[in-house]
Amino acid sequence: MERILVYGQGGHSKVIQMMICNQRNKQVSLIADDDVSKVNEEAAARVILGKQLADYQQNFDSIVIAIGTNSIRKKVAEQYKNWSFTSVIDETALIADDAVIGIGTVVMPRSVIHPAVRIGKHCIINTGAIVEHGCKIGDYSHISPGAVLTGNVQIGELVHVGANATVLPGIVIGDNAIIGAGAVVTKNVAAGSVMVGNPAKPMKKRE
């Protein structure tokens, strides 16, 4: 039985906790949060502060970061880089045998990952997302519910692809870009861009 510490307490965390509880060989042993006000709240398991991890290291085997915001997820991963992270993959996800999924990545219910896909560390493949053949997704990126990456799409690091967005074949999306919900991406996207609409057009540049 793998005992998992879930880092974070928001709605995204509750879904991950549900996924873990549905698997026979895993359990939520602890929940960690950096917000002192949340430590005494009712939860599925005991809640501790992140800085207390060393005091409870006998109570968990691995950590999953249950935080939806890419930049915060990266910050936590780097802060605790010497700890053991785990991936959580829902049993209803359809994943090709040759797909490579990085450590700490969460693959949520009914998502589909096709052959020759490469997904980096600490990513989120959210509910019902489709990642078609040959796609590559950089570290700390988030593919939202219902989003579709068609064949051979290249996604950089810290990218957010909004719910029900579609990225057409062979498109390259640079680091730290945001694709709005429902957008249809027909051209390459520069790093830091915010793209919305059908076809997707830039709104502004992120710093």
Q: What is the 3-state secondary structure (H, E, C) of 84-118?
A: CECCEECCCCEECCCCEECCCCEECCCCEECCCCE
- Candidates 114, 133, 142, 160; catalytic one: 133
DSSP assignment letter at 56 = G
Q: Which helix (H) or strand (E) holds 79?
A: helix 70-79
For 88, counting Cβ atoms within 10 Å of its Cβ (0-12 exposed, 13-18 middle, 19+ buried), the class is buried
133 is catalytic: yes
Q: Which helix (H) or strand (E) holds 119?
A: strand 118-119
Q: What is the dihedral of CA 184, 188, 194, 195, to 10 degrees?
A: -20
Positions annotated as catalytic residues are 133
